Amino acid sequence: MLKISEFTSEAATVLQRLVAQYLDPSVLTVVTGEADVSAAFSALPWDKFVFTGGSETGKKILASAAPNLTPVILELGGKNPAIVLPDADKALAAKKIARSRSGNSGQICLDTDYALVPKNQLNDYIDRITQELTTAFPTYHNNPEFSALINDGAFKRISAVLDEAKRAGTTLITINPNREEMPDAQARLMPFTLAINPDPKLRVAQEEMFGPVLSIFSYETLDEAISLINTHEKSLALYIFGQNQRQIDQILSQTSSGGVDINELFFHAGSHEMGFGGVGYSGMGRYKGGKLGFEAFSNPKSVYKQGRLAKFTSRFMVPIHNPRDVDQYQRLMGIHLNNH
């Protein structure tokens, strides 16, 4: 059974109709409804429950499943960092970071949430990322390649985050090459925005953005960058750009995340050997990928059939009173019994 988010009600209705048209309900059934339906759905005594969404909702899912001891797989999100080493290919790193933030207007769980770049290269990366986004999205309105935010709540949340950052004096770079009327609340269109070295206490630095906002932090030492990453909850993904293997190994050993890509994005999620999932705040369990995915939804039930030893083991189920039987039992089992 599949419960689709109430935030995508139209897609849910279409999927429900198509599944009912082509599949028997005993094989697959799609359920739609608001938050109350979701709450009832997660409280049912499932053999296995999978949820993908926000971390705070994931906590509620676990609480609902606990009374039934339902095993739960959570694929959540978090603030995925991209750490750029001094020897990284600048053009490659800037392009991949910009494009990863722009997919579905940043509404993908594996998107880069913030980037850390060497302090003496900060302006260069700002220029490169800005140019990449300008080239990819010269316009926003009537652009089939650009996505609106999913609902009014998401639009209001991102607006509030940026307003707070602006009031705090954060340098915000709005990428709007065609000088369109943006943000557009009615169409839920939000331009790409870069937040440069925001105060770590601000929402833009604390919350998963899940929208077209990319924070860029500068660092002087690798220890400083790693320390900033570790102030956040464990992320679903971490991206490293660079060639220095010693520095790469340091990042891998001193940070924790669901998965890591080096000089690439997202590819770790397609692993058929490891599966895909988070750790801690970004989730638990793995369920994607071949044999591992099959095992995630299977219960390895052991079945033992006794053979010739049945006549011996049956007597062990009752108290032993005859001393000779005690001696025989000890020799057979290789143990020593006391007088009791």
Fold (topology level) of 81-269 = Aldehyde Dehydrogenase; Chain A, domain 2 (3.40.309)
Residues 10, 34, 75, 145: which is the catalytic one?
75
* pLDDT of res. 314: 60
Q: Which of 137-141, 245-249, 329-333 is most confident? A: 245-249
HSE, CB side, 13 Å, CA atoms: give it for residue 163: 7
Tens of pLDDT along 89-120? 999 999 999 988 888 999 998 999 999 999 99
Separation CA 73–CA 175 (nearest Å): 38
Active site residue 145: no
Per-residue burial over 294-313, b if 16 or more Cβ lie within 10 Å, else e, is eebeeeeeeeeeeeeeeeee
Residue with tokens 């890509």: 261
Distance CA 139, CA 145 (A): 10
Query: What is the layout of strands, in order, in the sheet containing 72-75?
Result: 49-52, 72-75, 283-284
Instruction: Work out the average pLDDT over 162-172.
Output: 97
**pLDDT computed for residue 330 by the predictor:** 65
Q: For 180-235, how does the pLDDT look when each residue is reduced to its tens digit (9 = 90+)? A: 999 999 999 999 999 999 999 999 999 999 999 999 999 999 999 999 999 999 99
Q: Give burial (CB, 10 Å; 0-12/13-18/19+) of 183.
A: buried
- Given a cut of 80, is residue 144 above it in pLDDT? yes
Mean pLDDT value of segment 146-166? 95
pLDDT per residue as tens digits for the range 296-305: 888 888 998 8
Check pLDDT > 90 for residue 320: no
The domains of the chain are located at 2-76+290-296, 81-269, 306-340
Per DSSP, the three-state class of 44 is coil
Regarding predicted confidence, which is higher, 197 or 4? 197
The span from the CA of 28 to the CA of 22, in Å, is 10
Looking at 6, 56, 109, 207, which residue is catalytic? Answer: 109
CA–CA dist 70, 63 (Å, integer): 10
Query: Which DSSP string corresponds to 270-318?
Result: G-TTT-----GGGEE----SHHHHHHHT----------TTHHHHGGGGS
Instruction: Give the residue with greater pLDDT, 315 vs 189.
Output: 189
Percentage of residues of the chain with pLDDT beyond 90? 65
Query: pTM here?
Result: 0.85
Cα 16 to Cα 119: distance, rounded to the nearest angstrom: 51
Which residues, 6+ apart, have CB-to-CB distance to 337 below 8 Å? 326, 329, 330
What pLDDT is recorded for position 92?
Answer: 96
- Residue 304 to residue 313: CA distance in whole angstroms: 14
Told to judge if 295 belongs to the known catalytic residues of this protein, a careful annotator would answer: no
